[in-house]
A and B are shown apart, each in its own frame.
Chain A
Amino acid sequence: MPNNKPHPDQKYIEALLKNDTVLLAEIYDKFAPKVVGYIKKNSGDDSGAQDIIQETLITIYRQAKEKALQLTCPFDAYFFLLCKRKWLNELKKSSQKEVTINEEVVSINDESVRFAEETEIFNAKHELFTEMFDQLGKACKELLKVTFTIKSMEEVAQKLGQSYAYVRKKKSLCIGQLTQLVQNTPKFNQLKNML
């Protein structure tokens, strides 16, 4: 049963949003050792673990920023699951190293699994969006950059020497094209089915 009250560990999500060094250091002290232990048992080392932890935290940060992530489960299991799967993916990518699947490091409840999956889907989409953006033409890329970094569309229009309506139309076509690109990938349909 999903409940809607944020878990006290939501503070770690807030810490990522605020770049709060004290609490972020606490994340490393409290939750990194399990991840490090797991990675080392599975052909990894400290530096591999450090990278996985950092990448996972950045993914959580992005999700918190874009989707207002509200954790209703403990951070511990959620974070461990994410790091573990990320590491397994790394291993799969790099070689066929032997992997021990060890689920008993933390107690894992359904909600942690659900949250971890949501974050993974978010991350997969994120990667797909970035990949497809790269396929856009130069003109679209530049227009999108300008229209999103300069907040006032009037200012953008002035800068580009075009009318407001024209710039908005161009912008909508570029995002429309991106929408099409994403929709046409098989990966997107797989992701959709996971939801």
Chain B
Amino acid sequence: MTPEEKYELFEKFCSNELSINEKARLDKLISEDKTIEKELQLYKELHIHLDASFNLEKEQETLKANLKRIGDDHFAKIPKEKVVKEKTDKKNSGQTTKKPKVIKLPTWSYAVAASIAIIFGVYFFTQSNPTYNDFAAIPELSISERGVDEENVKNAENAFNKQNYAIAEKYLSLLVSKDPENAEYQFYYAISLLEQDKYSGASEVLEKLSQGNSVYRYKAIWFEALNQLKQKKYDQSAKLLKTLPKEAEDYNKAQELLKKLD
């Protein structure tokens, strides 16, 4: 048997495409030659590895970004506890604590620094493109009084209003899956995604909302425009802004943004 034939059998084995005859042939090969069995084993592993590498890329990146965020939160939290602990550790071990070096600046230097900061600020403010943060005013989420699913609702509300959007996303996604027609859940779910830079997820929900009849339909267009702005897709953003009708709550803000985008 040529290597070509062997690998073709392996491939069919991995994708469940062996005919009965081919299966018998492969079984015979394996039973006669242990090295072929081992090679098939490795081929199979590589098959799984390649499949996962190509198809999990996006999922893995999302997980990684989430872990980074959770890690950042976690490590930002510890210092206070640790400083105390380290101090006591040092005392116990009788080591001398190193004094932190502080370099004193003369007071006039603050004035200089402030002036420089202002100059830079003015320069960049007038120069730069409008940003998401200039325009996004995130409304407060208040849904707990209509509690059907008290706990999830409360958790979603708390997390969202504390700007803990990763956790809010989790609860809102639960609420959306239980009540898929609820536009309010969908809207806040989209905002949670958007705040985490999960652009395409946010777009999907916002687009659906903007095509519906709920009170959130114009809000959805406005935030989708901000979504595009956040990604620096200025043309897309402008296009969406132009579709906002006068009666939309965010019409004036949209005009203001449009002017800056021109």
Q: Please report A residues at the B interface, Cβ cutoff 8 Å.
A: 16, 19-22, 24-25, 28-29, 32-33, 36, 46-47, 49-50, 53-54, 57-58, 61-62, 65-66, 125-126, 129-130, 133, 144-145, 148-149, 153, 168-169, 171-173, 175-176, 178-179, 182-183
Contacts and interface: CB of A to CB of B under 8 A. Distances in A.
B74 A32 contact: yes
Given A22-B167, A53-B71, A66-B52, A172 B60 contact: no
B94 interface: no
B136 interface: no
Contact of A65 (B8, B11, B56, B73): B56
Contact of A168 (B11, B48, B59, B64): B11
B49 interface: yes
A188 B50 CA distance: 17
B7 A24 contact: no
Interface of B: 3-4, 6-8, 10-12, 15, 39, 42-43, 45-56, 59-60, 62-64, 66-68, 70-75, 78, 166-167, 169-170
A46 B75 contact: yes
B78 to A, nearest CB: 7
B50 A133 contact: yes
Scoring B6, B43, B169 by chain A CB atoms within 10 A of each residue's CB, the highest score goes to B43
B60 A62 contact: yes
Given A28-B74, A53-B71, A126-B49, A145 B54 contact: yes
Nearest first, the 10 closest Cβ-Cβ pairs linking A and B are: A172-B11, A176-B7, A172-B7, A28-B74, A148-B54, A21-B166, A50-B71, A172-B8, A54-B67, A129-B49
B46 A58 contact: no
Contacts of A57: 67
B8 A178 contact: no
Given A50-B71, A183-B39, A176 B64 contact: no
B74 A19 contact: no
Given A21-B169, A21-B170, A148 B46 contact: no
A58 B67 contact: yes
B98 to A, nearest CB: 15
A16 B4 contact: no
Given A172-B7, A175-B43, A183-B42, 4 more contacts: A33-B78, A50-B72, A61-B60, A129-B46
Given A28-B74, A66-B48, A182-B46, A169 B8 contact: yes
A183 B43 CA distance: 10
A50 B77 CA distance: 13
A60 to B, nearest CB: 11
Given A21-B70, A54-B68, A149-B55, A175 B75 contact: no
Contact of B53 (A54, A130, A171, A176): A130
Nearest to B13: A172
Given A22-B170, A24-B67, A54-B68, A176 B62 contact: no
Contacts of A148: 50-51, 53-55
Given A21-B169, A66-B48, A148-B50, A171 B11 contact: yes
A134 to B, nearest CB: 12
Contacts of B71: 28, 50, 53-54
Contacts of B66: 19, 21, 24
Nearest to B52: A66
Contacts of A50: 71-72, 74-75
B74 A29 contact: yes
A75 to B, nearest CB: 15
A100 to B, nearest CB: 14
A180 to B, nearest CB: 9
A29 B73 CA distance: 10
Contacts of A47: 75
Contacts of A168: 8, 11-12, 15
Nearest to B166: A21
Contacts of B51: 148
A144 B11 CA distance: 12
B4 to A, nearest CB: 7
B43 A125 contact: no
